[in-house]
Amino acid sequence: MARIKPSGKIHVEGVHFYEELDERVVRLVAALNSLHGVYTISSCGGHRKPDKLQVSVGEFRVSFIMTTASVSPFLRLIHEAIRKVDIGRLVIKKHGSGPRVTYELKGSDGVDPDEMASALESFVAKNPALGQGSYRIDRPSSRVRRESNHSHKAD
């Protein structure tokens, strides 16, 4: 488990994360980060007037990296969760190649990110070895954003 620093940042195995998240994606970010070797690097819960890094109301986006040597089981798990929730309104994309690969999970048309989080949590509950991540949200944060113009980004 990571510690929240007074600066509002969280330190996880050499990667810094901001504690501030759009309220709508908090549970999904925590569910992804609970997977062994998966770390979110940016997120957006949707905004009325999105800038170029944000998504519109009714959409969400969470980008992440995987540090595990075996990425396939985790991608299969995420794809299975997508199928369980709504394959038509959820998509995962791979960006880059080699050591600089990032993944983006995007929801559209009002799909609820908490449903995706619930699906991931249920898969991890059935197979606890998948859920040995080093970061989770233990408490509601006073810094969770209700409506924000910023994304959750790594330094």
Q: Are 34 and 86 in contact (CB under 8 A)?
A: no
Q: Identify the pLDDT of residue 154.
A: 40
**d(Cα 59, Cα 80) in Å, to the nearest integer?**
20
Q: Which CATH class, in words, describes the domain spanning 21-130?
A: alpha beta
Boundaries of every domain in the chain? 21-130
Q: pLDDT per residue over 95-151, tens digit each?
A: 988 777 899 999 999 999 999 999 999 988 888 877 765 444 433 343 444 333 344
Q: pTM score, two decimals?
A: 0.74
